[in-house]
Amino acid sequence: MAYLTCPWCLTPQLVGDESVEYACFTCAAQNAFFACTECGYRQTVSKRWTAFTCAKCEKKVDLPRRWGYSVGTPAMTVEGHGQPWPKF
């Protein structure tokens, strides 16, 4: 089980290793895992966002309108959580 942080409420969540998305148990946000296109940093992002700010290189990353298992990153490889774009 991966122990990840929700990007909305910052509450730690237990998520299955092979999962590519989950619903937060605290705030009910729909989250998924995506790798930065610039640096490859794998992070948790909200499925409601159209773009996010990478937590490592702070570049804007556009998200696809829809993505599934082939585009997402498995939970066991996630390193952090993304931030909204523009960054607040």
pLDDT single digits (tens) 53-80: 999 999 999 998 877 777 778 889 999 9
Higher pLDDT, 26 or 72: 26
Contact status, residue 6 vs residue 42, Cβ threshold 8 Å = no
Pairing of strands 80-81, 83-84: unpaired
Average pLDDT over residues 24-33: 93
Reply yes or no on whether the pLDDT at 14 is more than 90.
Answer: yes
Summary mean pLDDT of the chain: 90
**Which of these, 38, 61, 37, lies nearest to 49 by C-alpha position?**
61
CA 12 to chain centre: 13
pTM for this one? 0.84
Contact status, residue 5 vs residue 13, Cβ threshold 8 Å = yes
**Which of these, 75, 80, 86, lies nearest to 50 by C-alpha position?**
86
